[in-house]
């Protein structure tokens, strides 16, 4: 199995998947984009919700991971972490996805309990817990819990269950909370960030590796770091990776320094990111691909039945994103390609 990098604190981008006019994978565009995002200072999530995982076959997911790992290594980003989606309706197939991801070069998988049988599971806490315990036991690489009730037919993992899973399974490396529940995040991180927790429940990838906790958005990244989150996974990184990486670094510094000036500048940056995150998220994957076509010369459209973005809405979206895009241009012009930093909250 290839080298496995630990999932440490930081900002991660769930990259979109690109297709040609025949809806086949556009690997050249994909690897170009992955390297550009890593140049901005973000780690990578492949074949997540934002990457149209539901539209990808097993071989396609593995192909994307392998291509990304090779491109990142060739570009000098040998430390960049790759997490890949393994969500499916059955425990058995989720484990199979995890094994294939590991073989392809992923460092961890992220798993959502996505099932048409949610009505029979939603009140069966034991069955939900056993699913994640079994996936973690069967996966050769760490597993991140993905809590996104909208995409899981209403299944919403509470903080108590996530903490139970963190204690029960050393191979569960963290939790992405796209439920965007700040209280849940704070309850989890208040426990998992403690030295006593790390000592009693070390992760499988190392005693010094934290239990990763973060939101699926960047619109409250700074407040979440105040709440002892370890990062975020945000689709906004597809168009402004340098800004997101900078917000993460500033947030960590502001929490540590207790400087009024740094706090104010971090809040100003958070305000820009929050506005842009809301605008881009409202347009879905199609909107992200539209903007990438404008900004980077690649993008295309989603696989059917997901609709393309209506270009009539383009001028309004571009206007809403203008502040963050101007900042992205400014920051990226003033820095060399980043080596992704991970130190946060004891990581």
| Annotated binding-site members for pyruvate | 233
The CA-to-CA distance between both ends of the chain, in Å, stands at: 25
CA distance 21 to 332: 31
Instruction: Find out whether 159 and 184 touch, Cβ atoms under 8 Å.
Output: yes
CA atoms within 13 Å, Cβ hemisphere of 341: 15
Selected catalytic residue, list 12, 146, 222, 290: 146
Phi-psi region of 300 (alpha: psi -120 to 50; beta: other; left: phi over 0): left
- Bridge partners, 46 (sequence order): 84
Instruction: Find out whether 314 and 287 touch, Cβ atoms under 8 Å.
Output: no
Binding-site residues sit at 233
Q: What Rg, from alpha-carbon coordinates, does the chain have?
A: 19
Q: How far is CA 158 from CA 120, 122, 340, in A?
A: 17, 12, 31
Q: Which residue, chain included where needed, has tokens 């809301």?
A: 278
Selected catalytic residue, list 12, 21, 32, 176: 176
Catalytic (active site) residue 176? yes
* Catalytic residue list: 146, 176
């Amino acid at each position: 199995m290839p080298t496995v990098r630990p999932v440490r604190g930081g900002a991660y981008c769930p990259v979109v998947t690109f297709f040609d006019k025949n809806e086949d994978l556009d690997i050249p565009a994909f690897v170009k984009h992955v390297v550009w995002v890593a140049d901005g200072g973000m780690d990578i999530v492949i074949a997540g919700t934002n990457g149209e995982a539901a539209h990808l076959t097993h071989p396609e997911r593995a192909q994307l991971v392998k291509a990304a790992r090779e491109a990142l290594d060739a570009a000098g980003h040998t430390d960049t972490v790759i997490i890949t989606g393994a969500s499916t309706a059955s425990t058995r197939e989720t484990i199979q996805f995890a094994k294939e991801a590991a073989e392809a070069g992923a460092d961890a998988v992220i798993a959502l309990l996505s099932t048409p049988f949610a009505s029979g599971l939603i009140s069966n806490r034991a069955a939900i817990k056993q699913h994640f315990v079994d996936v973690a036991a069967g996966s050769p690489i760490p597993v991140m819990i993905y809590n996104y009730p909208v995409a899981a037919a209403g299944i919403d993992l509470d903080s108590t269950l996530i903490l139970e899973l963190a204690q029960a399974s050393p191979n569960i490396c963290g939790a992405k909370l796209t439920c965007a529940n700040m209280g849940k995040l704070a309850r989890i991180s208040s426990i998992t960030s403690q030295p006593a927790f790390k000592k009693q429940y070390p992760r499988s990838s190392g005693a010094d590796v934290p239990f990763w906790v973060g939101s699926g958005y960047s619109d409250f990244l700074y407040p979440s770091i105040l709440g002892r989150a370890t990062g975020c996974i945000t689709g906004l990184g597809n168009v402004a990776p340098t800004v997101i990486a900078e917000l993460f670094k500033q947030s960590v510094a502001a929490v540590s320094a207790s400087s009024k000036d740094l706090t104010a500048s971090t809040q100003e940056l958070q305000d820009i990111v929050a506005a842009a995150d809301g605008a881009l998220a409202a347009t879905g994957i199609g909107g992200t691909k539209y903007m990438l076509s404008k900004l980077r010369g690649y993008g295309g459209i989603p696989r059917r039945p997901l609709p393309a973005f209506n270009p009539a809405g383009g001028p309004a979206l571009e206007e809403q994103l203008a502040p963050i895009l101007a900042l992205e241009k400014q920051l990226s012009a003033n820095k060399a390609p980043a080596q992704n930093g991970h130190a946060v909250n004891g990581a």
